[in-house]
Amino acid sequence: MSRLWEKGLPLDARVLRYTAGEDHLLDARLVPYDVRGSIAHAEMLAATNLISDEDCTAICDGLKALEQSFENGDWHISLEDEDVHTALESRLTGNIGSAGGRLHLGRSRNDQVLTALRLYLRDTALDLAKRVTGLRASIADLANRQGDVEIPGYTHMQHAMPSSVDLWCGGFDEGFADAVAGLEAVHKRINKNPLGSAAGYGTPGLPLDRELTTAKLEFDTTQSPVTAAQLSRGKAESALLFEIALMMQDLSRMASDLLMFYTQEFAYISLAPEVTTGSSIMPQKRNPDVLELLRASSATTQACLDEALMITAKLPSGYHRDLQRLKAPVFRSIDLAVDSVDIMAYVLEGLAFLPDNISLDEGIFATAEAYRLVTEEGIPFREAYRKIAERYAK
């Protein structure tokens, strides 16, 4: 096995471990995307007569077989492979011979990894938007079941004005609708084809057809000029992480509300037994651990956004190995968001508000009473406000 950059010179094992980092583990999710990008590249090379049709067929069939065997668990990406790109090309060449060595013509590992990441992020943004839509359906179901239940509206942690389960659900639903729109907008930023930009300065002398790979990979546009590809690294990733961070803040605040409602002091809600855990010492305890972890999850996704932004801040233009460090925070945030959205939807399915335990303080109707004075007696609102305030002055 030889890495894509191999020149026959020795490499210290410690340097390999440090520079490869987690890529051999993280890249498992990129196998189908690197295969897809490589097939499009091979078909473009054949269409421009840079490789033969026979070699193209062997490459494409070989890549598809490798993808299937990876899914079957027949091989994995090792530290010695370094990343998905070496893992696939070395095995492809071992399986089909010299044709495999022709695949890398007209591309660099730089535009190769960027293409696979863009294809992955594009699918991820739409998948997460679909999951958030599922969460919205769970919120709507709760509102349909118990929307007319009255609950206090709070400001400063005090009873403020009357609210309802329907209003509570509606506020979060609007936030998650924004999340779906944001994820769909990020999809547009992601959907640019970097393939053919190579190491960031094109492929002089080769008649590559970048528009052909754009069409084959269903990108909206071809990223141009070629120098823009490496300069854009981290931007689409950070844009996605930003939308995730905003969405997770709403999810965290929903969890915070429900944790308060679940306390014995409030007892506004019940949770399904299967979503609570127990104590190792107190036999009576049923703990809402899942909601506490949901509350904490926004901190992680915001940290991932900060990490991604700081990695790219002040880098010169062109490619730098620092960019490899983007994968970990991006994947960590995505995985946490997917799990959190799905688990909150599940929690809501078994949640019920308990009307008999919910009382509204008399003062919660003070604003409505001030409005009544305005509409029935025609006095200015500020005067009505003071009249009502006098009742609660002591």
Catalytic site residues? 156, 279
Q: Per the structure block, which two tokens stand in for 112?
A: 């190769």
Residue 11 neighbours by CB distance under 10 Å:
13
Rounded to whole angstroms, how far apart are CA atoms 299 and 337?
A: 12
Q: Per the structure block, which two tokens stand in for 315?
A: 């880098």
What length is written for the chain? 394
Q: Per the structure block, which two tokens stand in for 382?
A: 């500020």
For the four alpha carbons of 240, 242, 247 and 251, in that order, the dihedral sign comes to positive
Residues whose CB is less than 8 angstroms from the CB of residue 282 and which lie 6 or more positions away in sequence, other chains included: none
Q: Name the CA radius of gyration of the chain, rounded.
A: 28
Residue 157, H or E segment: none
Closest alpha carbon to 184 in 132, 245, 252, 116? 132
